[in-house]
Structures are given as structure tokens and as C-alpha cells.
Amino acid sequence: MDDYPLLNLFWTMLWFFLWIMWLFLLFKVIVDIFRSDDLGGWAKAGWLILALVLPYLGVLVYVIARGKSMGKRDAKEAKEREAAFKAYVREAAAGDTAGAAKSGGSIDELAKLADLKERGALTEEEYQRAKTKLLV
């Protein structure tokens, strides 16, 4: 270890992290190739071969040629995931609300209690006591 200076260790780590970042970019490009709806089968095969046979050049050319649409596809997918999550939450809340309506509407009561607490009509202790009664 005495013959490996600290600066060499720094450069080795820098190149290692740059290599890892490039691998992440390569995988992102490959995933984007398969996810892209506007490319046909032969175009996908061509981009994939270019990215795998000449990886540095292939990834660089892909990012230059299709980087903007790559970002748009990422944003679209994120919006779709968020919409699906919100729909799931609404669905789950609707199921809970239906169950709460059967048990006397405890969700509505909790909302009323929280509103009273926010307006200062209830203290924290009173709010906790009333909440405990509703939930038991």
C-alpha cells in the first residue's frame, strides 16, 4: 500500500464511479429502446446492436439523437404511475369510507374533530380523547 499514492487512489475511484455512471446510462438507454413506442422492431434491433457492439459510441449517439424523446417518455411514465397511485388511493379510500359509513361514519367524525382542533375549539387532549373514543 506504500507504493500506491493517495492521488492514484483518487483517480482510480473517480474512473470507477464514472464507469458505474456509464453503466447506469447504458441500462437506461437499453430500457428506453424497448419502451419506445415510436420505434419499429428493426429500429429497436439496430439501436440495440449499436449500443451493445459499440457501447460508448452507441450510447452517445442514442442520447444525442433521442435524448429529448427519452425525457418525454420518462415524464409520461411518471405521470401514469402517479395517476395509477392516485386512483388506487381513491379506490382504497372509497372502500374505507363505505366501511366507515356502516360503522357510524367515523371518518367524517374524525374530519370534524380535526377541523374543530384546527379552529381552536378543542385542545390537543380533548381531541385525542374524542379520537380514541371514535376509533375504539
Task: Specify whether the CB–CB gap between 18 and 40 falls below 8 A.
Answer: no
Each residue's pLDDT tens digit, 48-81: 999 999 988 999 999 999 989 999 999 999 999 9
Residue 77: closest CA among 34, 43, 35: 35
Average pLDDT, the chain: 85
As a whole-number percent, the residues of the chain with pLDDT over 90 amount to: 43
The identity of residue 66, as a single letter, is R
Task: Specify whether the CB–CB gap between 26 and 51 falls below 8 A.
Answer: yes
Q: pTM for this one?
A: 0.57
